[in-house]
Amino acid sequence: MRSSGKVYLLGAGVQDRGTLTQQALNLLQQAEVLIYDALVEDDLLQYVPPHCEIIDVGKRGGKPSTPQGQINQLLVKYCQQGKRVIRLKSGDPLIFGRAREEVEALQEAHCAFEIVPGLSSALAAPALAGIPLTDKYLSGCFAVLSAHAPATLNWQALAQIDTLVLLMGGRNLPQIVEHLQNQGKFPSHPVAIIQNAGSPDQQTWVGTLADIVEKTAGVALSPCIIVVGEVVSLQNTFQSPQSSPLAGKMILVTRAADQASTFTTLLEDQGARVIEMPTLEIRPPSSWEGLDQAIAQLPQYDWLILTSANGVEFFFNRLAALNQDIRHLAGVKIAVVGKKTAKFLQQRGLQPDFIPPNFVADALIEHFPASLPGQKILFPRVETGGRTVLVEELSHQGADITEVAAYESGCPAAIDPTALVALQQGKIDVITFASSKTVRYFEQLLSEAVGSEKIPHLLENLCLASIGPQTSQTCRELFQRVDVEAAEFTLEGLTEALVNWANPEKP
């Protein structure tokens, strides 16, 4: 009798998470148990639910690893418990993996399973390095092979193939070169080695059979892909760095926990690599009483002011919880701060009556479209820690403003481990901040993790980028500097500012 559990043997692609398929992403988001290999990008772990059990089985050649039999037992055990199990493998699960043993163990235990294809590094790595595997004139065929045991291969036959793609051959490069030359390949025959394909650390060496060993002497090449063939000479033809202004930049995006980042997409579209670091936890207020009373009296208000996407979401969710809808807002005008806030409002079927220029609260006060004396204004906002200037100035100008707690924001319990390691290893080029709170909580999390005295050293060689003046002020207060500030105080504006920073020579 089959259990209700199921195991998915899932290919993660290479270390560029853009190679993850949509099917793979959907399954990761539903995982109850994740069992993953050493070459899988840690960044992918952010997609699994908080309740998912994560098990690192770390299989990498030449290093201690979990025995295959133990991995098989884990898959069977969790499947028989009725769990949705993701067996996450780098590349494609059926190319030079141990999928057969795992499938046979699952079949023997009558466990349901499914193969989810992924993009193999054999295909992705050459493409990411600008090397085509086929060409009308230079390569009519290619072969993919494992080179961890060169002595067992038929080099006479392999030497006749136009293009060779060798996996797991980094430690055996001298033997590979020797075998190919012994079978008639000229010393001038092109070779490329692509290490850490798709990661910020990707590196490519291009040479010939005569000099590639010398060019990589002293380098620990694993993990790498070796490409042998005339197509290597086409590398420059297929590279266009001008099309990706943030190519090669690793950007740490501070954001709210459990919120998808539109900003990440904007940056990746410009060629950047992104690590997302949760620095805010958004949660309900300590009490709904104030907001509930305001909603009961909505028809009495002239204006509703919403200054954040969180304010929109929590206000309208509470409206629905009280069995009300947008009709309850008839006669109430709505002012919002920022394009993102306006977009979230539009998704609720409403158009804002007023959006101030510059997308900051100060501009709302300066350009408010109605005479303020006597105006009754409802302002649902964060419970603690928000700026008071809006309430103070509107009140000073004669408005009758009611501020109520619609949500609360706080600092996560601990820093994201992937972000911390990237900072400590010097892999980050830019840190972005979209609010003063993300700056403050980032500093708090980093201080708790490494000690405040080490922060200046960790940040000294990277760019601090801010969405606007208030956020910049907090950066200067805590870090004594800000390097980039958006001219337009939006995520799009911050993206443009970073593109200009990375390409200062362009008009």
Q: Is 426 helix (H, G, I), strand (E, B) or coil?
A: coil
Indicate which residue of 37, 43, 416, 429 is catalytic.
Answer: 37
3-state class (DSSP) for residue 269: helix
Distance CA 258, CA 253 (A): 14
**Which residues, including other chains, have CB under 8 Å from residue 344's CB and lie 6 or more apart?**
309, 312, 313
Q: Which two tokens stand for residue 343?
A: 């977009």
Per the rule left: phi > 0, alpha: psi between -120 and 50, beta: everything else, 184 is left
Of 94, 106, 87, 110, nearest in space to 37 by CA: 87
* Other residues' Cβ atoms within 10 Å of the Cβ of residue 348: 15
CA–CA distance, 475 with 350 (Å, rounded to integer): 35
Which residues make beta-bridge pairs with 430? 251, 463
- Short-list 28, 17, 24, 63, CA closest to 200: 17
In the chain the first and final C-alpha atoms are separated, in Å, by 68
| Amino acid identity, position 189 | H
Catalytic residue among 59, 89, 340, 437: 59
Catalytic annotation, pick one of 6, 168, 185, 250: 168
Question: Which stretches within 159-243 are classed as H helix?
Answer: 173-182, 212-215
> For residue 54, what are the β-bridge partners?
34
**Parallel/antiparallel/unpaired status of strands 333-336 and 376-382:** unpaired
Residue 156 backbone phi and psi in degrees, to 5: -60, -45
Alpha-carbon torsion, ordered 325, 329, 335, 340, to 10 deg: 10
Alpha carbon distance 190, 210 (integer Å): 9
- Of 67, 58, 65, the closest CA to residue 35 belongs to 58
CB 122, CB 165: distance < 8 Å: yes
Task: Burial-class residue 341 by CB neighbours within 10 Å (0-12, 13-18, 19+).
Answer: buried
168 is catalytic: yes
Residue 59 appears among annotated catalytic residues = yes
Where would I find the H helices in 202-248? 212-215
Active site residues: 37, 59, 168
